[in-house]
Structure 1
């Protein structure tokens, strides 16, 4: 097990690289831009989006801002009671907002399949799929399908969800003649996976488990998944893009597994490096809605601009191996 010092060093290292740069870059936005600012003037009327994990953290703000721009938002949440309260708040703030709440437990393949089946049965279109939900640096645990929990929740659940809803997205794009967008919320933590990147043969190895590196592994998988998906969609000539992003360091309930030592360490530097929730949701909303991103696919974004991920994500063989590995795991269930 890692010590508090080791954990804080690992997680704060990427934060130190993200000291806010107030100057605007290619997109005209920066780390200080909010979700409302990056979508200002965008009309999302007629679009339908699924946002996973929309009942807490940046998922709430993502859902609210999409609804504010006229998008019909389907909140895919584990706790439907909490989701209903968020929906109520959004409708109060955005009169006329179209928001629905559906149950989804990403760590359970059965739940993912049930959600996808119910969504398709409802006959809803799907323009935007925002794979936002996640857990961070939890102790070693197995999912309901006996797969390491962070890999199962952050990557595999979203992989299966995307796969099951892809035909719906393709049909929607074709019928509406509008670009579909798949957005994977990753993290700069993708730089701090295990040395081999993805431990295909040791996914469930508790003896060498590192909560931080397992989180980094799952976030690396988010980027690799988006890149391989973008490649396949391009080859198929489908008008759907797939991108990944780092939302920024935000103090949300994702930090719940960290101890008081780390909370204090983060708090000490928070005013310099940690974003507010409206700023944290900005890059997600930018990639999902802003016209500047039209036709852009297979990219990694940070601070509402294209950024440079770790070199390993360019490994197309690794991305394909992860795709095949994930397909085998989900098909076996």
Structure 2
């Protein structure tokens, strides 16, 4: 099982649950090798469980390609077992000036969406026949909810415009709008991936997951220290609940992500959206726009161009 961002926050809680429940090969993929090694040393590993690390920065397409090649060689060389699940969990919201990736793409869009788009394309053929791809998304993607209104409503999921925010010298989108729209793109991708897998006769599942607003994660990485402190208080949580914000927790959200990855109860979860809210976990409707197939296809094709996906990299399952 491969998880991006599995060395902190919700991803780490998910990994802890997976390690406790059953023997697995787990590959932690992230851009903090020292932190990942520290986590491996801290985790209690059950008999038969093996945890490996893989350098990966999802905002860098070069890094994604290198990581995918390394993972395929690990599987082919018998270093790890057949890939059962890909958990596209890494992401975050950047504050301050607009930043850009090595490919000159806006980093919120690249790190949350575009890197995972490429990673799934490169690894889908390495998945088991009944494998799963689970995408960590966010309720902020829906402009009709309190979550979406709180950060700024998502805009049209135009891949080229989102990738080039801040490049042309025009007025940039706010950090909240960039984040919400990137997560909308993730859900559009998850649903289109589901449709293409179904048409090809594949039993691989593609699932979207909203962990709710969770303090103690990388969501506020880069935010002013006072904001990070306030967001983690019980007072802030009560206010958010009163305001109608979707609330998660490290424990419940991490455990829910683990269930989506492995539990047979979610074997038929492909093409669906699951959400944690105030201790509960279940299927919900995502934003109306997220079910727009024409937008999803347009986003898919533009994303292929942005990542320079070659014919040899594109799986027959997804054409």
Q: Give distance in 2, aligned partners of 1:89 and 1:321.
A: 44
Shift of 1:76: 0.7
1:75-105 CA-to-partner distances (Å, cap 9, x unmatched) read 1111111101111111x36455311111111
1:162-203 CA-to-partner distances (Å, cap 9, x unmatched) read 00001111xx32xxxxx2110000000112365543133522
Q: 2:54 aligns with which of 102, 108, 114?
A: 102
**Aligned twin of 2:101:** 143
Shift of 1:66: 1.5
Q: 2:192 aligns with which of 222, 228, 231?
A: 228
Helix, strand or coil for the counterpart of 1:331? coil
- Runs of 4+ in structure 1 off by over 6 angstroms are none
Runs of 5+ unmatched residues, structure 2 = 143-147, 242-246, 311-319
Q: Where do 1:12-161 residues align within 5 Å?
A: 49-68=1-20, 69-90=22-43, 92=44, 94=46, 96-122=48-74, 123=76, 124=80, 125-139=82-96, 140-161=98-119
Helix, strand or coil for the counterpart of 2:161? coil
How many positions carry a matched residue from both structures? Answer: 277
RCO (CA 8 Å, sep 6+): is it higher in 1 or 2? 1
**Aligned twin of 1:325:** 302
Q: Give distance in 2, aligned partners of 1:147 and 1:106.
A: 12
Deviates more, 1:236-245 or 1:281-290: 281-290
Q: What TM-score do the two structures reach when normalised by structure 2?
A: 0.81
- Asked if the contact 1:70/1:97 (under 8 Å) is kept, the reply is yes
Q: Give distance in 2, aligned partners of 1:77 and 1:219.
A: 19
Q: What TM-score do the two structures reach when normalised by structure 1?
A: 0.78
Helix, strand or coil for the counterpart of 1:64? helix
Runs of 5+ unmatched residues, structure 1 = 1-48, 174-178
Q: Give distance in 2, aligned partners of 1:51 and 1:162.
A: 12
1:186-234 CA-to-partner distances (Å, cap 9, x unmatched) read 0001123655431335222321321000000111011111000000000
Q: Does 1:189 align with 2:140?
A: yes
